[in-house]
Amino acid sequence: MVLSLRIIGFNDVDNQALNDIAEFVGAAFSARVKFSQAGPVPKEFVDVLRNQYRAEDLLRWVYRKWGGEGVVLALIEGDGYAGSLNFVFGIASPLLKVALVFTSRLRLWIKSSVSPEQLFIERLRKEVMHELGHVFGLGHCSNPYCVMFFSNSIFDTDRKSWKYCSACASKLRSSGISLSSEFIL
């Protein structure tokens, strides 16, 4: 069975980034991928005191609007939080088969040998693979180089790979998810 994945950009996520992620996850999971822009996130999902999106509420809204067939990945130009966390890079629900990735903190540029845009795409790939891992039933991994390692800061994201360790890859494959060997540490 071929995985069906719909990627939706909100708040004018860069089309080049959408295209890159579509190709990237399509190759990783041998998935049939469609992507589109959906316009702005409704203001009702903004916590005005924090100037952040309420990630859990937004996740359920995305499911109600676009869920039900395959996996939905929403890329949101902005910042989000969930529960007692000050921020989240993303959030996912294996039950709803929906993942969100927030881009604003991924754009924080730290002196690097790569350009800010290259660094952003690399971080975006990592967070997308991480959240999709949750959609497919994976928890956090203790291997700091595995994409499923919990990122408490952007430094954790920068350290880890966009690949799954052999243990996480094995779990994915045993649950029926096709994963290209290029995406395994």
User: In Å, what is the CA distance from 1 to each residue of 36, 41, 93, 172, 183?
Assistant: 23, 32, 21, 14, 19
Where does 38-177 show beta strands of DSSP type E?
Answer: 46-47, 52-54, 71-76, 80-81, 90-93, 98-102
Distance of CA 50 to the CA centre of its chain: 22
Please list, residue by residue across 88-97, b when 16 or more beta carbons sit within 10 angstroms of its beta carbon and e when fewer do: bbbbbbeebb
- Tokens 């990630």 map to which residue? 55
- Tokens 């969930």 map to which residue? 82
Task: Return the active site residues.
Answer: 131
Cα within 13 Å of Cα(144), Cβ side:
6
